[in-house]
Structure 1
């Protein structure tokens, strides 16, 4: 396998991760963290970069990606959970969210328009381009890794270089939450990017791309995928540090409500009206590459599960779904996706961590079953919470759990369940030691 293909695979993986949310979160963290910036961004990088990187490794070590990871709990669970993952991060959320953000934060920065017609026309062009880039899976690495990602990185570099040479670092106050727990707040900001879930899908895109480039040996595939993940991780760290630094040092008189406002103001201060064009181009390119990756991942997965329909037909299906949801509006997308994402995220993280540890500790069936069962119970209760449904008696006990108020109450009980399952299997001599 050539180093060139690995490099372009890493570029592509960077672009798949770097969507609109990843563009907007870091500047706002930089602004809010003030003098606690270094500690806060360290927490952010841990969950927004390191955790997705671990997920990529986990997928590369599994024979059948997400499916085989989930099947360690039960074959039916593995299939159902994989379908839920791909529909949640793809058709019902990731794809239409990327196109909606491309329109609202990208296109609208350059051309002001009102009504449904401009959105419809934009979505036709946007998804037309997505279709052309996604229709041939063997060309994904070439198109995204060689062309789209360098274009995105070039535009980002223009913004960063100008910002570093213009803005000066000054002491700035932090908001209260960063004063009290800067690392935890940064950790949670990275956690809520939900890139660890997206990595479950993107890992397969990289593996398939490397196979199309001639990599057949399993060791080469693992080495190539991990190397691509490392390249993407380094790129994300550099970009996140740069974006958050801009938010940290940007001079502003009026309060800024989110990362998008910070970057728009920074672009305008640095480039005048051309800054709007620059920012709009960054957003559209970032969203487009993510959309292409998700379309490819979803179409490849469902083509494998339901081979009677071709890959191209599944691409069309997800393109049509994406267009429909885009024109329904971002609010509806979030209403549908939020409960799904709240449900799948804890379970996904548990599966990823267990699948990594099993390569050192051995595969324990009860460890998977107990840990995922506990995580699922917490995830279901989290879904109820999104609908403002609370069980007072249960809530009073759950509040005693560490990090429950931060949305991480599931971590300690799930860890205890995993340890319990593993110990039971050790005593019953049912732990299986194998590479996959």
Structure 2
């Protein structure tokens, strides 16, 4: 007999999903956006929530409702070669190359570096990276225990610590939101700028990875029917998304209020450190250290687990333990590049990968309407792919953008591609590819 999940089960799974999602970027980017958006923070925050919580929620639902076994299974609806390439690229982005190293460097720069002399920080970053990923490796060895580690212990502790800091910020605000200055990038289109800022959390990409963890957890609890699994995934995801939305909003508004005492910082990590120190002095710095390290560690456990489980599926001749080791070792090396460089390198890659992930999520949700026709998946993806290259090049460092060929392509895109200047040039091509795919599928059926 199939087990029926209780409210307690949904709360535990929702807590686990929140814990997996809410890492380094989820703390620092809303605060920094709040400082830059100023009095336009309400619109900017709404845009941020679309990509920060809306898309991740849809991603988890897409995995649950499509009854796919993971990202690769879902992406092969375009074709097998694309499924393999996209899956590897996505997991490298949210794994060893960008997200995982960022977790360690953020933990170090916010939670540890303030207590160290500047000259000792490089060697201590190396030591901290080894310790950080050593602990993450230890907890990731047994994926069936992830609910206990993250959902029942780490996440409640994290929420308790962060809630205390947020409570102080709103009981004793540092400044007024209505008079806060707005930087240039938020003056014209704060809503759309907020949408692209949500990319930095990596959560829409991670949702495709974490979705299968949720499905597996629900199955391990005794639920076997695909329809029931899909419903339970939605219920559990709703709890996580609601919690994330509340915390994102509070963090972004706290960032805006901090302008009453501090200038705009280089990143949200510095702003968080300033806010914590303002309210609690050295105690605040220690509190923030615990908040950041716990947030980053629990997300690292989830990403390493998802990376290893997926690559075991792609390469079944290799062991889970091997990929856990790879996903723990490589980011430990890359973390020593530093947080600023990691963010700089990741931005153009995110602008390329994100549209492909978004369209795959939407196609999976709409798939029953066009009867899962492969041509719709392919044409939508191919059109999006071309526009994504342009969006990625536009976000690349000046040395790349200034190349003659790249400069010519970007000039054409600015002139003829709608929404390109706000970082969303993929929208119209994706819609055109979807419509062309629908028309093609209809006429091909009639021809047969």
- TM-score when scaled to structure 1? 0.92
Structure 1 residues 417 and 110 mapped into 2: Cα distance closer, same or farther (>3 Å)? same
CA deviation after TM superposition for structure 1 residue 212, in Å: 2.5
Q: Determine the structure 1 residue equivalent to 2:88.
A: 83
For residues 422 and 200 of structure 2, the distance between their equivalents in structure 1, rounded to whole angstroms, comes to 11
- The two structures, once aligned, show a CA RMSD in angstroms of 2.2
Deviation at 1:341, TM superposition (A): 3.1
* Residues 416-436 of structure 1 deviation map (CA, whole Å, 9 limit, x = unaligned): 1111111121233389xxxxx
Q: How does 1:10-49 map to 2 (within 5 A)?
A: 10-49=14-53
CA distance in 1, matches of 2:234, 2:250: 24
2 CA distance for matches of 1:214 and 1:316?
Answer: 30
**Using the alignment, how far apart are the partners of 1:430 and 1:327 within structure 2?**
58
- Other-structure match for 1:360: 369
On the 8 A contact 1:160/1:242 being kept in 2, the answer is yes
C-alpha distance 70-331 of structure 1, shift in aligned 2 (>3 A): same
- In structure 1, the partner of 2:135 is 129
Q: What is the CA-CA distance between 1:408 and the residue it aligns to?
A: 1.0
Alpha-carbon distance in 2 for matches of 1:343, 1:174: 28
Equivalent position of 2:389 in the other structure: 380
Q: CA deviation at 1:337?
A: 4.3
**1:246: how far off?**
0.9
Which of 146, 150, 155 lines up with 2:161 in the alignment?
155
Q: Is the 8 A contact 1:296 1:315 kept in 2?
A: yes
User: 8 Å contact 2:70–2:310 — kept in the other structure?
Assistant: no
Which residue of structure 1 aligns with residue 61 of structure 2?
A: 57
For residue 265 of structure 1, the aligned residue among 269, 274, 281 is 274
Please tell me whether residue 183 in structure 1 is matched to residue 188 in structure 2: no
Q: Unpaired segments of 5 or more residues in structure 2? A: none
Report how far residue 73 of structure 1 moved.
0.9
Within 5 Å, give how 1:384-399 maps onto structure 2: 384-385=393-394, 386=396, 387-388=400-401, 389=403, 390-399=405-414
**Structure 1 stretch displaced more, 32-41 or 312-321:** 32-41
2:73 is aligned to 68
CA distance in 2, matches of 1:391, 1:124: 39
Structure 2 vs 1, CA of residues 110 and 214 (structure 1 numbering), >3 Å: closer, same or farther?
farther
CA positional deviation for 1:358: 1.4
Say which SS state the counterpart of residue 73 (structure 1) adopts. Answer: coil
1:280-307 per-residue CA deviation (whole Å, 9 max, x = no partner) reads: 1111111111111100000011112222
**Alignment match of 2:432 (pick from 406, 412, 416):** 416
The alignment status of 1:146 with 2:157, answered yes or no, reads no
Higher mean displacement: 292-301 or 339-348: 339-348
Q: Alignment partner of 2:201: what SS?
A: coil
SS at match of 1:428: helix
Give the distance between the partners of 2:29 and 2:121, measured in 1 at CA. 28
Cα 1:11–1:309, aligned 2, differ >3 Å: closer, same or farther? same
More off after superposition, 51-60 vs 29-38: 29-38
The answer to whether the 8 A contact 1:57-1:226 is kept is yes
Name the CA distance, whole Å, in 1 between partners of 2:91 and 2:233.
20
Cα distance per residue 1:253-273 (max 9 Å; x no partner): 544333222221211111111
Deviation of the 1:371 alpha carbon: 1.3
**Equivalent residue, structure 2, for 1:346:** 355
Deviations 1:152-206 (A, max 9, x none): 0000111011112111662323233333222222222223433211111111121
Q: Distance in 2 between matches of 1:121 and 1:391?
A: 40
Shift of 1:409: 0.9
Bigger mean CA offset, 187-196 vs 277-286: 187-196
| Residue among 92, 109, 117 paired with 1:104 | 109
**Do 2:36 and 2:264's aligned partners in 1 also have CA atoms closer than 8 Å?**
no
DSSP 3-state at the match of 1:174: coil
Paired residues of 1:370 and 1:417 also in contact (CA < 8 A): yes
Aligned partner of 2:209 in structure 1 is 201
CA offsets 1:370-429 (integer angstroms, 9 cap, x no match): 111111122334444523344454333311222111221111012111111111212333
Query: Secondary structure at 2:410's aligned position in 1?
Result: helix
| 1-structure distance, mates of 2:52, 2:99 | 16
Distance in 2 of aligned mates of 1:430 and 1:127: 56
Q: What is the CA–CA distance in structure 1 between the aligned matches of 2:445 and 2:192, rounded to whole Å?
A: 39
Distance change in 2, residues 1:7/1:326 (3 Å): same
Contact 2:25 2:200 in 1 (8 A): no
- Alignment gaps of 5+ in structure 1: 432-436
Which residue does 1:245 correspond to in 2? 253
Q: Indicate which of 322, 335, 342 corresponds to 1:313.
A: 322
Structure 2 CA distance for aligned equivalents of residues 309 and 68 of structure 1: 19
1:330 Cα deviation after fit = 4.0
- Say how many residue pairs are matched: 431
